[in-house]
């Protein structure tokens, strides 16, 4: 590979195909060859290169499995292009968070995705308020959409950051203690947590009552 962009494009193509259970033999060989440049004795990359040259239909499942193993070892992070279902999960989470936004008298937020500059790992989602405010973090990593609870916590956190910048105040506020709450995974549910009285769950995210 000449540079990271080339490897990223190759990795993306191989990942999408491997997740579907079939890998292009040329792309798989290129992935194996790139890996073997740095690790000439690697058994998995050697096997993938051999299978790619043979290019037998019966070897596709094994090739796909090895390709995904190599991509994971190379710290390849799938994005929304490779895992569109993750973005759909985050969008569902945004709908739930907007219930809490509306319950506190604020206009709905929108989930947006940063422009793709050609590097898969740079494309995160983020929340924007109705008046254009966003948070100051790196946004929401695609993998946060891998399951509904992590998606809901991640979207709630980013929405909170954006809304607090818009309001210049804490949001949402625990009605009992008047402390700002925080999104967290608690007992396998996404909840708003207050630190008052040693800490307690205020409500499940998406079910806020009152302002």
- Per domain, the residue ranges of the chain are 4-73, 84-204
pLDDT at 4: 73
Question: Is the distance from CB of 139 to CB of 125 less than 8 angstroms?
Answer: yes
pLDDT at 76: 92
Q: What is the pTM of this model?
A: 0.87
The distance in angstroms from the start CA to the end CA of the chain is 55
3-state secondary structure of 190: strand
Give start and end residues of each alpha helix (H) in the chain.
Answer: 4-19, 25-38, 43-54, 60-73, 84-103, 148-167
Using CA atoms, how far residue 192 sits from 17, 44, 160, 175, in Å, is 39, 45, 11, 12
Tally of residues, the chain: 211
CB burial class (10 A; 0-12, 13-18, 19+) of residue 106? buried
Q: What is the mean pLDDT of each run of 10 residues along the chain (211 residues)?
A: 77 95 95 93 96 95 96 93 96 98 96 71 86 93 96 98 96 92 95 92 92 64
What is the spatial distance between Cα 118 and Cα 81, in angstroms, rounded to a whole number?
A: 11
pLDDT at 1: 47
């Amino acid at each position: 590979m000449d540079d990271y962009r080339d490897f990223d494009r190759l990795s993306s193509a191989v990942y999408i195909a491997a997740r579907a259970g079939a890998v292009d033999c040329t792309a798989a060989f290129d992935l194996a060859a790139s890996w073997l440049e740095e690790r000439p004795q690697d058994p998995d990359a050697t096997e993938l290169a051999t299978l790619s040259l043979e290019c037998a239909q019966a070897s596709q499942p094994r090739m796909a499995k090895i390709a995904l193993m190599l991509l994971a070892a190379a710290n390849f992070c799938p994005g929304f292009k490779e895992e569109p279902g993750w973005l759909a999960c985050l969008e569902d989470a945004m709908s739930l968070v907007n219930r809490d936004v509306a319950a506190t008298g604020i206009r709905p937020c929108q989930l947006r995705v940063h422009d793709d500059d050609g590097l898969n790992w740079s494309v995160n989602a983020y929340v924007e308020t109705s008046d254009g405010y966003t948070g100051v973090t790196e946004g929401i990593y695609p993998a946060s959409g891998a399951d509904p609870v992590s998606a809901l916590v991640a979207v709630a956190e980013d929405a909170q950051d954006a809304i607090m910048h818009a309001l210049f105040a804490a949001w949402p506020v625990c009605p009992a203690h008047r402390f700002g709450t925080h999104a967290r995974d608690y007992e396998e549910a996404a909840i708003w947590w207050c630190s008052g009285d040693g800490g307690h769950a205020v409500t499940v995210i998406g079910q806020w009552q009152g302002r």
